[in-house]
Structure 1
Amino acid sequence: MPELGLSTSTSQPQLPVSGNRHLRLVRNIFIGIFSAIFLVWAVLFVTKGRFLKGPFERTIAAMTNRKTEVHGDFQLYFAPFDIKIFAEGLQISNPTWASRPYLFSADRVDMRIAPLNLLFGRRRVRWLDLTGGALSLEWNVNHTTNSWTFASDGSAEPLQLPVIDRAKLQKTTVRYRDPRLQLLTDLDFATITSHEARIGEAVQFKGNGLVRSTPFTLLGSLLSPDATVARGTNQLVLHANTSTDRIDISGTLPSLADIENVPLTTSAHGRNAAELLGIIGVVVPNTRAYRVHAQLVKSGTRYSFSKMSGRFGDSDIAGAFTVETGMPRSHIDADLATDTLDIVDVAPFIGYNPDLVARRGFEAAAGAAGAAPARLLPDTSLRAEGLSAFDADVRYRVTRLRSHSVPVTNVVATVDLDHGILKLSPFGFTMARGKVTSEVTVDWRRRPARTRYDIRLGSTPMAQLLGGFGVSEAGTSGTVTGRIELVGDGDTLHSSLATSRGRIAFVIPQGTFWTRNVQLAELDLGTFAQKMFEDRLKEPVRINCGLVAFSVRNGAAAADPILIDTAKNVIVGRGGFSFASERMDLAFRADGKKFSLFSAQSPVGVGGYFSKPSLNVISPALLGRAGAGLGLAMLVAPPAAILAFVDIGDAKGAACGPVLGGATAAAQRTKAGNVRDDLGNSKSAKSGQTRRKRFLGIF
């Protein structure tokens, strides 16, 4: 039967000859690469890669720019898929500026690394067995590079450790040195064993070191090391001790060596906060025993302490401060506050030992600070050399100052320390409802230091100011304003005042003054008034105007003038006081404007020392005697020391304009406009200078 033209055969597509050639080429290349890898693997596995010891040393040396040596057996091969590195006597050198010759050395290193992690830049170690390892982490003097950063440009990078799945570490030590912080510490770690990224128990470490010449010891624990080796979190507990202080730190670290930007709970206590802060190069006055708590965050070269609270002595402290160590000079920035500041805890700021003040008083503390017997001003150096080593911006607020005599509240102080120049500006407080504002500048770049004092007392009610000294609020409406401007040279409070020059003036506007017949501090003015006037004061003294002023030269202050005009009397004073010897020798006389029942009054002398003032009824022959002044006692009770002495006489009333303006004795006038001849200034300023020299001749 004839074919109908249909075919039952099926045609198959055929690859081009060139396509078959490409497939065979790819296959052959793949087989070749696999064979080469297998050959390399086989050669390395059989030989253990010992022949690669030299290339390994040269490769690591080229990568790190450090000499690398393996003094014992060396192995480098795949086992079976991880890279196994085994080395005995491995040493990687440190830069020449480091304190130890080797960045890393070990008696024995056995580790396995995942190859794919290396390809993708991940630093993961599957197994590490380390015996006799020693790691030396150091910064150079300029803090521009460190021993663990191998960049050729000298840049510095933070330390980052690899993730370790399994580890066994024995006899491991770590050194850390930072010349800028003047810190050196050596740590010894207990034997560490882990399996499948789990260690199981706390890792203990201990060590010692030196920070700014202060030796310390360390004891710490990693409470969750399982998380640490897996690159997770770790609970750190650290205790540091010096001979006088203890510091406790705890917190959660993201890894073993990563403390950057991690909040750490910190507490410290000891006998003197100055010793603690001295560890980081911050100079403050000595304190009594302290205990503080804060949250510490390290960010690069900045150490921030926030949420701070605690006590020093009998005073509380709170706030925050930051220490910046990354600049050419360290810098402190602080906001601090105290609710109640005990007067004893203020003592160190002017050179007293607060513990001695608390036990035996200011006079004993002054003696221990180098002052002569019966003197108060301390002669202890304020550590100028330390103040030249760092800069600071500090803001400090005190709600209340606890003292027995003068009520002081709302203290505000701003401290600016810049390259050895210390400015206390503004420094203000409220004293008995009067505002005291001041600016104090100390130039520590000079030797000796130069101090400028500018202290202003706003209008202050005498009744509140002197309420603790027997002044009656009911009959006292007078106020006091004043200003102290002095410049002196010296590294102590005593020496700067003993060389000072300037002016002290306190102005008393119109008002009344009334004192009860009681003892006023060591000046028994109530008893003296009774003896002098043969009776108690019957009514408040009505003040027209008054001025208690001194001109200061070379630490000696001369009355210039002391002049108080009351309704019945004119009170004048002569003499002065010395900051150098702390002696005072003043004579006061009250001349009545009209006849009074009082009679037989003698001039009144105020003598002795700042620490032990004395009141005496003296004869007219003693009026010409020179002397040292009322000094600090004048700030305690100037009206009480003067206004109680009423006398009979034909006194000439004072023109209150120059008095209220704080003018010198030469500028004072009577109500009639005549030059006063009862202030020790004679008839001219020139003769007044002559008398002033004679007054000061006793010193």
Structure 2
Amino acid sequence: MTTRDAQPSDQAGKRFFPLRRPWRIARNVVVGVFATLFLIWLVLYVTKGRFLKHPFESIAGKAAGRTVTVRGDFQLYFDPFQIKFYAEGLTVANPAWATRPNLFEAKKIDTRIAPLSLIFGKRRFYWLDLAGGAADLEWNAAHTTNTWTFADTGGKPFEMPRIDRATVAGTTLRYLDARMRLLADLQIDTINAVDKKIGKAVGLHGTGQIRETPFRVVAQLLSPDATVNNGENKLTLRAWAANNVIDVAGTLPSLTDVENVPLQTRARGRNLADLLGIIDVALPNTRGYSLHAQLVKDGVDYRFTHLAGRFGDSDLAGRLTIKDGERLRLDSVLATRSLDIVDAAPFIGYNPDIVAANGAVAAAAATGAGPQRVLPDATLPVAEMQGFDAGLKWTIRDVKSRNVPISNVDLTLSLDRGRLALSPLMFAMARGNVAADLIFNTRVRPAADSYDIRLSPTPMGTLLAGYGVDQSGTTGTVKGRIQLAGRGDTIHDSLANAGGRIAFIIPAGTFWTRNVQLSELDIGTFVQKMFEHKLKEPVQINCGLIAFTVRDGIAAADPILIDTKKNVMLGRGGFSFKNESLDMAFRADGKKFSLFSAQSPVGINGTFAKPGIDVISPQLIGRAGVGLGLGIVASPVAAILAFVDVGDAKSAACGPILAGAHAQAMRTTKGKQRDDVGNGTTAKSESGKESPADKRKQKKKFLGIF
């Protein structure tokens, strides 16, 4: 071969030599990398990566913004291509403000992790074996942050990784909400997941305390497979607290997110007051109840809508909002179709079960009142009333009452820092209307209470029909007002020192009593003794006023004056709110001459709980004695003179009566001031002793206290 022939070959070799060199470099680099990786893998595999314990604690701690510690054995290596992670005594610290040192700790974690999932941010665990895990979830006092949201890393909450197969045993969960004063310590049942599926519901159970009330809870996660894949969290929960059973069911976007999520709730128990008492809300006692509603939490508001159910024999519907802010507040709008009057007994301090079984007197005694008392001595829950605020609008269509027909109740309630106002309270009663404003102000001690009750013109026949009065022949009406103010933390105490006025006005009409008995006071007998005939026709009433002036809990007639077609009915005496005693006397003076008229007072005595009639008075016995004396001295005809009514009763002017005026304003039809209606004082003091002034007045009258 010549030199010329060899030149092309040499040039070709020179031309390709530079291309072979980079390839060799790349090959050597790749081989070096793989060799290095293999060496690293080999070192990790041989050493199990135990020497990475402290670097792991540092890197993981910086990533979480928390201190991460492994107290026991640690392994981190490829086995062979999956990342094996094993740690004993792993802890993740809580923020410094938390009450527990660790957010999470576990006796043992043994898992296999997909390497590429860590690179692309979608963490995938091939399998997980977790033993003795304990999580601590806690809100700060201001409810602005929690322990499971890593504020130092962008404020992102912990997200559950994807797990193909798992065994989780001995896991506990603690939840603390300082603002709600809620603490729960829960144990999670053992979880076994295969092929990314747990299959059956995961249960948990435990105990806790909300405010001062302990509770027990059992719950189930019904969608565990969806939960571990960051899907829906369908759960049910049942809790027992203060003799109540509470059920909650719903679907959460995450296990720790309940904001603006509709939850179905149901509660039942023997006393609704016990349920709300858990959050320090004072409510009158109730009989057994069962209620259900939809609950939505929106910040500090807990809204219960579509509320419906029963308490006792009464129904209830509406909505309720509980605002758990700086000051607890309840706002509700409620409606009842039918309210059993027994279920309303707690509103004045009576135990409804005692009322239903043994009556109002027994219920009053149970509040601390003395025997034969009806005014309750149940004390206002002053501390609770000053601890929360409330607003209530409650309408009631019908009230099931044995005696008085009541309907169309419209109640507005306001509680503002210890001042409770039922204003206005309106309802229809016996085809008449009642409007009331009741104030109980516990801001001052003892409470300052006021009662203002107005009765619009109401048919007496309808009003008394429930007590056995035959309505036929009764066309009269009655209207009135009660204005009282006193100091005390019970209804009895506030009335026992109250002052004010009570007045009931009776315009023209007729009144007929037959087969009547009212609270063991035989009104039929009373009226018959007053008007001294068989009541074969209705009493024709021109006008009437039954009024009392109340001073320091003692009510004195001021006046009692009823003018009828044939008689003038007068009354004296009064009653006491202190001991609930009655001491009144009534007399009917005829306007026309009449024979055989006893003309002696008929007394009402006893107590509010057991009033009685005294138809045999000393005056009647005295007149009988006079008649007997005349019969002996003169003749039997003369004895009749003792029972003659000369018919000198002075007809009353109806103007002052219909105006509800005091006794000193009463006049005869001729315009003269009446001297037979008293001056608004009782004939006897509370001790039962007659005052000197009363004795002087009685000496001027032939008929004793009149």
Quickly name the TM-score band, shorter chain normalised: 0.7 to 0.9
Give, in angstroms, the shift of residue 606 of structure 1: 1.0
Question: Aligned partners of 1:594 and 1:656: how far apart in 2?
Answer: 19
1:267-307 alpha-carbon deviations (Å, 9 max, x no partner): 22221111122223322111111222222333333322222
1:180 is paired with a residue whose SS is coil
Letter in 1 for 2:292: H
Letter in 1 for 2:448: R
Bigger drift between 428-437 and 116-125 goes to 116-125
Q: 1:142 to 1:556 in 2, by over 3 A?
A: farther
Bigger drift between 30-39 and 79-88 goes to 30-39
Look up the match of 1:553.
551
Q: How do 1:259-298 residues align onto structure 2 when only pairs under 5 Å count?
A: 259-298=258-297
Give, in angstroms, the shift of residue 79 of structure 1: 6.4
Q: How do 1:485-504 residues align onto structure 2 when only pairs under 5 Å count?
A: 485-504=483-502
Q: 1:542 aligns with which of 522, 540, 543?
A: 540
TM-score by length of structure 2 reads: 0.83
Look up the match of 1:367.
365
| Paired residues of 1:591 and 1:648 also in contact (CA < 8 A) | no
Q: How do 1:243-254 residues align onto structure 2 when only pairs under 5 Å count?
A: 244-254=243-253
Question: Aligned partners of 2:52 and 2:68: how far apart in 1?
Answer: 13
| Paired residues of 2:161 and 2:229 also in contact (CA < 8 A) | no
Question: Aligned partners of 1:124 and 1:658: how far apart in 2?
Answer: 93
| Paired residues of 2:160 and 2:228 also in contact (CA < 8 A) | no
Q: 1:604 aligns with which of 602, 617, 621?
A: 602
1:469 is paired with a residue whose SS is coil
1:201-227 alpha-carbon deviations (Å, 9 max, x no partner): 221211111223322211222233112
Q: 1:230 to 1:138 in 2, by over 3 A?
A: same
Q: 1:534 to 1:457 in 2, by over 3 A?
A: closer
Give, in angstroms, the shift of residue 597 of structure 1: 5.8
Give, in angstroms, the shift of residue 411 of structure 1: 1.0
Question: Aligned partners of 1:433 and 1:158: how far apart in 2?
Answer: 63
Give, in angstroms, the shift of residue 437 of structure 1: 1.0
2:344 is paired with a residue whose SS is helix
Give, in angstroms, the shift of residue 596 of structure 1: 4.3
1:595 is paired with a residue whose SS is coil
| Paired residues of 1:160 and 1:257 also in contact (CA < 8 A) | no
| Paired residues of 1:112 and 1:125 also in contact (CA < 8 A) | yes
TM-score by length of structure 1 reads: 0.84
Is the aligned partner of 1:87 residue 2:87?
Answer: yes
Question: Aligned partners of 2:645 and 2:347: how far apart in 1?
Answer: 43
Q: How do 1:111-190 residues align onto structure 2 when only pairs under 5 Å count?
A: 111=111, 127-151=127-151, 161=160, 164-190=163-189
Q: 1:36 to 1:447 in 2, by over 3 A?
A: farther
Question: Aligned partners of 2:646 and 2:54: how far apart in 1?
Answer: 112
| Paired residues of 1:459 and 1:479 also in contact (CA < 8 A) | yes
Q: How do 1:170-569 residues align onto structure 2 when only pairs under 5 Å count?
A: 170-242=169-241, 244-325=243-324, 327-530=325-528, 535-569=533-567
1:659-682 alpha-carbon deviations (Å, 9 max, x no partner): 22222222222333332211212x
Asked which structure has the greater CA Rg, the reply is 2
Bigger drift between 478-487 and 517-526 goes to 517-526
Q: 1:322 to 1:123 in 2, by over 3 A?
A: farther
Give, in angstroms, the shift of residue 573 of structure 1: 1.4
| Paired residues of 1:166 and 1:198 also in contact (CA < 8 A) | yes
| Paired residues of 1:41 and 1:78 also in contact (CA < 8 A) | no
1:62-115 alpha-carbon deviations (Å, 9 max, x no partner): 555544321122344566777654322112233455443322111122456667
Is the aligned partner of 1:698 residue 2:697?
Answer: no
Give, in angstroms, the shift of residue 178 of structure 1: 2.0
Is the aligned partner of 1:74 residue 2:70?
Answer: no
| Paired residues of 2:573 and 2:683 also in contact (CA < 8 A) | no
Counting aligned pairs with the same residue, the percent is 57
Bigger drift between 463-472 and 530-539 goes to 530-539
Question: Aligned partners of 2:603 and 2:32: how far apart in 1?
Answer: 112
Bigger drift between 122-131 and 98-107 goes to 122-131
Give, in angstroms, the shift of residue 423 of structure 1: 1.4
| Paired residues of 2:652 and 2:667 also in contact (CA < 8 A) | yes
| Paired residues of 2:519 and 2:610 also in contact (CA < 8 A) | no
Question: Aligned partners of 1:566 and 1:439: how far apart in 2?
Answer: 34
Give, in angstroms, the shift of residue 233 of structure 1: 2.6
Letter in 2 for 1:288: R
| Paired residues of 1:171 and 1:190 also in contact (CA < 8 A) | yes
Give, in angstroms, the shift of residue 52 of structure 1: 3.9
Bigger drift between 90-99 and 422-431 goes to 90-99
| Paired residues of 1:558 and 1:695 also in contact (CA < 8 A) | no
Look up the match of 1:634.
none
| Paired residues of 1:576 and 1:696 also in contact (CA < 8 A) | no
Give, in angstroms, the shift of residue 189 of structure 1: 0.9
| Paired residues of 2:511 and 2:539 also in contact (CA < 8 A) | yes
2:446 is paired with a residue whose SS is coil
Unmatched 5+ stretches in structure 2: 1-18, 621-643, 690-706
Q: 1:471 to 1:72 in 2, by over 3 A?
A: same
Equivalenced residues, count:
643
Letter in 1 for 2:250: G
Question: Aligned partners of 2:284 and 2:486: how far apart in 1?
Answer: 21
Give, in angstroms, the shift of residue 121 of structure 1: 6.3
Question: Aligned partners of 1:95 and 1:259: how far apart in 2?
Answer: 22
Unmatched 5+ stretches in structure 1: 1-19, 623-645, 682-687
1:303-356 alpha-carbon deviations (Å, 9 max, x no partner): 22222222211212222212222x111221212222111111111111111111
Q: 1:533 to 1:444 in 2, by over 3 A?
A: closer
Letter in 1 for 2:654: C
Letter in 2 for 1:219: V
1:477-529 alpha-carbon deviations (Å, 9 max, x no partner): 21111111111222222112212222211111222222224434411122344
Question: Aligned partners of 1:520 and 1:693: how far apart in 2?
Answer: 25
Question: Aligned partners of 2:436 and 2:36: how far apart in 1?
Answer: 83
Q: How do 1:94-109 residues align onto structure 2 when only pairs under 5 Å count?
A: 94-95=94-95, 98-109=98-109
| Paired residues of 2:530 and 2:588 also in contact (CA < 8 A) | no
Bigger drift between 646-655 and 178-187 goes to 646-655
Q: 1:519 to 1:461 in 2, by over 3 A?
A: same
Letter in 2 for 1:270: G
2:260 is paired with a residue whose SS is coil
| Paired residues of 2:58 and 2:68 also in contact (CA < 8 A) | yes
Q: 1:35 to 1:551 in 2, by over 3 A?
A: farther
Question: Aligned partners of 1:268 and 1:156: how far apart in 2?
Answer: 36
Give, in angstroms, the shift of residue 400 of structure 1: 1.0
Q: 1:588 aligns with which of 571, 583, 586?
A: 586
1:103-144 alpha-carbon deviations (Å, 9 max, x no partner): 211112245666776677667666543211111112334434
Question: Aligned partners of 1:595 and 1:392: how far apart in 2?
Answer: 64
Give, in angstroms, the shift of residue 263 of structure 1: 2.8
| Paired residues of 2:150 and 2:157 also in contact (CA < 8 A) | no
Q: 1:655 aligns with which of 653, 661, 664?
A: 653
Bigger drift between 135-144 and 183-192 goes to 135-144
Letter in 1 for 2:411: A
Q: 1:79 to 1:430 in 2, by over 3 A?
A: farther
Question: Aligned partners of 2:157 and 2:65: how far apart in 1?
Answer: 18
Bigger drift between 128-137 and 665-674 goes to 665-674
Give, in angstroms, the shift of residue 160 of structure 1: 5.9
1:512-556 alpha-carbon deviations (Å, 9 max, x no partner): 222224434411122344456553113222222222111222221
Question: Aligned partners of 2:430 and 2:398: how far apart in 1?
Answer: 12
Bigger drift between 259-268 and 220-229 goes to 259-268
Bigger drift between 405-414 and 247-256 goes to 247-256
Question: Aligned partners of 1:377 and 1:145: how far apart in 2?
Answer: 51
| Paired residues of 1:517 and 1:527 also in contact (CA < 8 A) | no
Question: Aligned partners of 2:420 and 2:541: how far apart in 1?
Answer: 41
Question: Aligned partners of 1:419 and 1:124: how far apart in 2?
Answer: 55
Give, in angstroms, the shift of residue 613 of structure 1: 0.4
Question: Aligned partners of 1:158 and 1:542: how far apart in 2?
Answer: 84
